[in-house]
Structure 1
């Protein structure tokens, strides 16, 4: 509780945003972190973000422990507007809970949320900074404009059923709201989620997730993340680190590990995942080998077109004049 009280105000103070068009040439996945980005996948784009994780918990005071596996699945679909996407966020867990007397095998939905996200404000829309063609340093220096975040809002509903081992009996249908800010600072993306969850139940929860992401190679990116949450029943702070690898413009692999900061209970979990984008308007789903083959074919077509243009030019140049 003390750690949370120190970190939560600090994160609120620091949250002051990535600003591009909604549609991007490369996949825009929220994995492997837990925060939600400000931008949608783009109109007519369907995206699947899934993974498997292992979890280990131990409560030093109550003398119980849990170990198990879980499945993550997030479905994202952009529709109607470039700024709008619909989201289904699902987590199903299989575990074994053991205390001093009993061993219980459990399995159920740990999370089942459906909702929609809308981009309220994009500071880079209609922003056209001047480019200094004589100075690389001038073009890459800090810009105060970068402090202005992109802002989105997510509104959804928890659909956890009754008698769920991972929730309270009265949880049922309840709202979830997230305010999202996102900034880019010279290649580093800073995302903040301010969360109000289950606010109509007996145990509403409030929290923040702050994520720093950076690409450190053509296909590799890494992230660090801090999450804090608090309710009348439970409070905790969790740290995460991980990396993602871009297979091609539509597919991404990822891995991460998470650890909390106390022992009532201590929590350790790690997972691997996969994200796959299907763009109905722009291109079909491609496996890595298919993508490479299409790229090679495209290059071949360009070369053939240039060859034909040269041949046609040579033919015209050699036509005799009267």
Structure 2
């Protein structure tokens, strides 16, 4: 039986990824004080008091945005809410209730899910009375935490476990074949994954660097379980400037190490580059099997030296 699913949602920059990493016990989701850092759904298998569950981190929900990436992030968050058995709705205890919080609360009421209201950044619990303002959201009793200081996390997890059905708490062994999808930015890795699994699991856009985290997607075909790992495009060091970009590249190399086999996606329109060779070499050095996929073949002008 599948493990219960716990999804963390909220507007940007309230501390969702810090809480995710705290519960998971390791740095999986990128954390930085920049709204929109977490773009896709990030998964981790977690355990609390012998209760096993899948935790999902989501990008910040911007209810009324015209930005393409933020709009797609909202879609990703909605998918994660639909998948969830329990939703952790995180708000910022220092900022108080905002119009965006109200919009997210309305979205959750329509979803009719088990929701726990998490008031973050209550670092010293001195002004715990501030949490009472969040009753205005109509979600229920607020649970005060500080993700950064690890305060209140145990109490929060107790609340989460209390929401689980007894039938949910069955541990599953991960016997899937792990496949890392690697390649340069904008080679089409996310589009290939979406084609394989048949849903918009990963945000697809023509902006290089859209996939900043390594994202696990589990699926089954002909009785065999697989885990696809989509990664941030691997760039040359000279082109990596932002701290988020640096950490994303590290995550991509870590994904190769986790994988049983790698799919190297090459942009046919650009041809094989030195960077493609470097990526293939890293996989070879880690003794990984490899499948080379030449994407965007329709953009290549055909002649006697090409195959249709």
User: Would you call these one fold, judging by a TM-score over 0.5?
Assistant: no
Which structure features the higher share of strand residues?
1
Which structure features the higher share of helix residues?
2
Q: Which has the higher contact order (CA 8 A, sep 6+)?
A: 1
Normalising by structure 1, we get a TM-score of 0.27
Q: Which has the larger radius of gyration?
A: 1
